[in-house]
């Protein structure tokens, strides 16, 4: 229930109203900014609300149900307080927002809070940006609790994972830059272990030539070795060097499995295998110096001495930039065991049969 002072209520009920909205934004880094749709700056409760005539917002819709609020704000880059670099760096993602209404000719009347919540998706296009406001009811749209998953549900290094990520965090310096997302640091010589994958999703053998299944390891890894092919009855098929027969298969380099076109088209099989991935692949980088100091990046791929990040940074990476980089985890049980010796804290269920097995007829 909204409350407002009797003076502001009387003003709103009058024929002539001198009102404006005040947006208070608290970024993730703690910086508090104020904006108003008035044609001049306004000081209220110790905060200066900047006038940015280049922004508009949609009507505010709210009700007594738990449906999410419907509000969107559009603006152009005409304020030094909001920059493209800060938006692209994610400093405004999930920023806390409070929207108030005041009488700008008499601020002693107090304020009426119209809405509040968190900033959601921010889109940038042709010198302007659009941000959606997710109301407090948005929290009730999230799933509560955990669901079964063949991969780990923990975030590497958090309280559920319980692995000390500082033991696999290293300092580095950019030696040279390949492009906007790739750079070279010869000091990074780490290599990743071979990881085993237990297939719980399964594959259908194609019903037409060439009756092949190509294995694509998760997270950009490279196929290393075959660990067996089994059917829904947990019977293992035989690996042969020539043309496969019934319940047989042939394996080519790179993880290409060929099955019998005369006996097994349409059959459902599970393929277990091992793969290798870069030591820092899907890890994290924190930039310490340079134009991107304080920002973080996700590592997409890694080969000794060469780092590729997932998304380009707001500012160009430059030789001499220093950073800290943490090893990556692809959330597979083999990685948890082989790379980090942390299988006891693995938060997944890789041995639960997939949906196809669970709903298939038995008999």
Domain boundaries, the chain: 6-139, 165-192+278-345, 194-276
Report CA 105 to chain centroid distance, whole Å.
Answer: 45
pLDDT score at 53: 57
Half-sphere exposure (Cβ direction) of 49: Cα atoms closer than 13 Å: 24
Q: What CA–CA distance (Å, rounded) separates 185 from 172?
A: 7
Half-sphere exposure (Cβ direction) of 286: Cα atoms closer than 13 Å: 9
pLDDT score at 302: 87
Q: What CA–CA distance (Å, rounded) separates 150 from 333?
A: 9
Say which CATH topology domain 6-139 has.
Pnp Oxidase; Chain A (2.30.110)
pLDDT score at 362: 60
Report CA 161 to chain centroid distance, whole Å.
Answer: 18
Q: What CA–CA distance (Å, rounded) separates 179 from 312?
A: 9
Q: Write out pLDDT tens, residues 140-184.
A: 666 666 777 888 989 899 999 999 999 999 999 999 999 999 999
Element (H, E) at 117: strand 111-125
157, 105 in Cβ contact below 8 A?
A: no
> In 3D, which of 183, 182, 163 has the Cα closest to residue 173?
183
pLDDT score at 96: 84
pLDDT score at 163: 93
Phi, psi of 139 (to 5 degrees): -60, -35
76, 84 in Cβ contact below 8 A?
A: no
Sort 6 into a burial class: Cβ within 10 Å, 0-12 / 13-18 / 19+. Answer: exposed
Q: Point out the residues of the chain with pLDDT beneath 70.
A: 1, 52-81, 126-127, 135-145, 218-220, 353-363
The answer to whether 6-139 and 165-192+278-345 have equal CATH topology is no
> In 3D, which of 70, 79, 62 has the Cα closest to residue 129?
79
Q: Which CATH number fits domain 165-192+278-345: 1.10.10.10, 3.40.50.720, 2.40.30.20, 3.40.50.300?
A: 2.40.30.20
> In 3D, which of 287, 298, 282 has the Cα closest to residue 339?
282
| Pairing relationship of beta strands 47-51 and 32-36 according to DSSP bridges | parallel
Q: What CA–CA distance (Å, rounded) separates 123 from 111?
A: 30
pTM over 0.75: no
């Amino acid at each position: 229930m909204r409350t407002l002072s009797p003076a502001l209520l009387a003003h709103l009920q009058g024929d002539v109203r001198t009102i404006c909205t005040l947006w208070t934004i608290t970024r993730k880094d703690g910086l508090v900014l104020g904006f108003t749709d008035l044609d001049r700056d306004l000081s209220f409760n110790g905060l200066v609300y900047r006038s940015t005539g280049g922004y508009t917002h949609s009507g505010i819709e709210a009700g007594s149900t738990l449906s999410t609020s419907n509000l969107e704000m559009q603006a152009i880059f005409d304020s030094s307080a909001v920059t493209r670099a800060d938006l692209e760096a994610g400093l405004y993602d999930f920023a806390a927002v409070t929207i108030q209404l005041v009488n700008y000719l008499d601020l002693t009347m107090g304020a009426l809070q119209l809405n509040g919540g968190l900033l959601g998706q921010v889109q940038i296009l042709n010198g302007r940006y659009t941000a959606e406001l997710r109301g407090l009811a948005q929290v009730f749209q999230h799933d509560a609790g955990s669901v079964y998953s063949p991969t780990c549900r923990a975030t590497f290094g958090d309280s559920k994972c319980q692995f000390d990520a500082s033991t696999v965090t290293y300092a580095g310096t950019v030696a040279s830059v390949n492009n906007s997302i790739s750079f070279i640091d010869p000091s990074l010589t780490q290599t990743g272990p071979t990881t085993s994958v237990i297939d719980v999703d399964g594959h259908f053998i194609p019903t037409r030539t060439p009756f092949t299944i190509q294995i694509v390891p998760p997270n950009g890894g490279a196929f290393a070795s075959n660990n067996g092919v089994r059917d829904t009855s947990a019977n293992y098929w035989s690996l042969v060097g020539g043309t496969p027969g019934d319940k047989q298969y042939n394996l080519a380099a790179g993880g290409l499995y060929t099955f019998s076109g005369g006996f097994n088209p349409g059959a459902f099989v599970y393929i277990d295998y091992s793969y290798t991935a870069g030591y820092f692949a899907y890890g994290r980088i924190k930039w310490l110096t340079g134009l991107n100091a304080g920002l973080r990046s996700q590592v997409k791929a890694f080969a000794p001495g060469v780092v590729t990040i997932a998304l380009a940074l707001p500012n160009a990476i430059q030789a001499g930039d220093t950073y800290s980089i943490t090893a990556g985890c692809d959330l597979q049980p083999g990685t948890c065991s082989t790379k980090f010796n942390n299988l006891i804290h693995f938060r997944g269920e890789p041995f639960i049969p997939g949906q196809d097995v669970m709903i298939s007829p038995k008999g």
